Chains A and B, each alone.
Chain A
Amino acid sequence: EVQLVESGGGLVQPGGSLRLSCGVSGFTVSASTMNWVRQAPGKGLEWISYMDSSGTIYYADSVKGRFTISRDNDKNSLALQMNGLRGEDAAVYYCAREKQVSLKKSTPMGESTYYYYFLDVWGRGTTVTVSS
């Protein structure tokens, strides 16, 4: 069964650090594109980090320089190291797998293949609280 399980959340003081983990089962994290998405209490979804199979990494401006995404191929897991935590970082943190789907479509030029990407598997999330 394909599953993601986040852990590591908790209460941390402003300026503190926390390391989140995302345990992966049913697929290989090193062969996949993974993302971290967070949701502050009562707010919408906010993407924060991306890592693909080649090791390309992206961060949202809101966390750049403070958060670090990584993976452990031996443990088949994903991690998010969070330093310099602020009140606005308080949220539920989800890890999510990014899926690629290819579809053939007829065009005036003939048949073309289109590639689509979306977050198809999500964990249940882990809660980070930042407070003194």
Chain B
Amino acid sequence: QSVVTQPPSASGAPGQRVTISCSGDSSNIRSNAVNWYQQFPGRAPKVLIFGDNQRPSGVPDRFSGSKSGTSAYLAINGLQSEDEADYYCSSWDDRQNGWVFGGGTKVTVL
């Protein structure tokens, strides 16, 4: 069981906004930046957001990240069919001295 928790699923119609939550504790999310990864079936993960809210070059600006206390959020605005994927939050954990990942959220476009 992960020390960082995410809802297992989220969905929305094309064009809608979807928000995924990520809940941790003082040893990870409160103390360290949160990264978000996108993963398609059979493919390696790809970083979507780093440093709580920074987008690497090439990531569309409809993806945004935020953080408050021990929780982080990934928002997808203007949901598109190609956004159907698994999304993982991750943060460094000072207690475990390692990266922790949320359990992942499967996003479905209705």
CB closest residue in chain B, given A120: B47
Q: Which of B35, B39, B96, B97 contacts A118 (CB 8 A)?
A: B35
A45 and B37 contacting across the interface, CB-CB below 8 Å: yes
Interface residues on A, range: 20 to 34
- Is A119 at the interface (CB under 8 A from chain B)? yes
B2 and A60 contacting across the interface, CB-CB below 8 Å: no
A125–B41 CA distance with the chains assembled, in angstroms: 13
Tally inter-chain residue pairs, CB-CB below 8 A.
68
A94–B45 CA distance with the chains assembled, in angstroms: 9
B102 and A44 contacting across the interface, CB-CB below 8 Å: yes
- Is A123 at the interface (CB under 8 A from chain B)? yes
Known: A50-B97, A94-B44. 5 other contacts (CB 8 A): A37-B99, A44-B88, A60-B98, A61-B96, A119-B99
List A residues at the B interface (Cβ < 8 Å): 35, 37, 44-47, 50, 58-61, 94, 101, 103, 114, 116-120, 122-125
